[in-house]
């Protein structure tokens, strides 16, 4: 199974919609080797297993946004994938499944392939979480570094101003120090 579906292919089918990582019904159906219609029929028969935080229907605007995103990232797709991605904008209804919804699909779709695909999808979600966690750490470290650099910039600016003041005062003619002795008159 791991030869059939590379984890990168699964990751490319995970979208961020409404602040949640989701997969679309048609992408899941393709991965499971069933039609989108068949997948959605199984979901309808078991609708109690899919509360709104497991699955939701996309609005027309969300469908159009995804359609534009998919079409703009067509490089590397074969012709059948391009045709499928272009059809999404004409779909009347598209369901999006959160990670929990995808996990629940494994109890609805009971084939061997569904089980294996589900394991790969769960690993993809886990891998994305790990990547996001690493990026948050890097982001935090970068912000810290940026603050230190900004502080150093301020300090260096003060040093430069002080040096400029010192140079400016040295260029003024200096008055002589000491007593003037008048020569004796004869």
Residue-wise DSSP of 87-153? HGGG-S--EEEEHHHHHHHHHH--SHHHHHHHHHHHHHHHHHHHHHHHHHHHHHHHHHHHHHHHHHH
pLDDT number for residue 53: 93
| pLDDT tens sequence across 57-112 | 998 888 888 777 654 454 544 444 444 445 676 677 899 999 889 888 878 887 78
Q: What pLDDT score does 22 carry? A: 92
Q: What is the pLDDT of residue 41?
A: 92
* Candidate from 27-31, 135-139, 141-145 with smallest mean pLDDT: 135-139
pTM here is: 0.59
pLDDT at 86: 56
- pLDDT given for residue 72 in this prediction: 47
In this prediction, residue 173 carries a pLDDT of 64
Split at pLDDT 50, 70, 90, the class of 2 is: very low
Closest-CA residue to 67 (of 94, 31, 48, 101)? 94
More confident residue, 181 or 16: 16
Closest by CA position to 13, among listed 60, 66, 56, 54? 66
% of the chain residues with pLDDT over 90 = 21
Express each pLDDT in 12-44 by its tens digit: 888 889 988 899 999 999 888 889 999 999 999
Q: Where are the domains of the chain?
A: 7-134
Cβ-based neighbour number of residue 128 at 10 Å: 17
């Amino acid at each position: 199974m791991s030869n059939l579906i590379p984890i990168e292919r699964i990751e490319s089918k995970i979208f961020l919609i409404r602040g949640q990582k989701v997969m679309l019904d048609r992408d899941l159906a393709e991965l499971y080797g069933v039609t989108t219609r068949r997948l959605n029929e199984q979901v309808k028969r078991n609708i109690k297993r899919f509360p709104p935080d497991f699955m939701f229907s996309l609005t027309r605007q969300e469908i159009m946004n995804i359609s534009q995103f998919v079409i703009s990232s067509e490089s590397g797709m074969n012709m059948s994938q391009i045709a499928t991605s272009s059809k999404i904008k004409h779909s009347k209804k598209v369901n999006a499944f959160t990670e929990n919804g995808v996990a629940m699909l494994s109890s609805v779709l009971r084939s061997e392939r569904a089980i294996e695909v589900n394991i790969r999808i769960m690993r993809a979600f886990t891998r994305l979480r790990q990547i996001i966690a690493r990026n948050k750490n890097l982001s935090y470290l970068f912000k810290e570094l940026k603050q230190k650099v900004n502080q150093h910039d301020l300090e260096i600016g003060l040093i430069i101003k002080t040096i400029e003041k010192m140079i400016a005062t040295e260029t003024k003619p200096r008055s002589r120090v000491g007593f003037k002795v008048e020569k004796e008159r004869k």
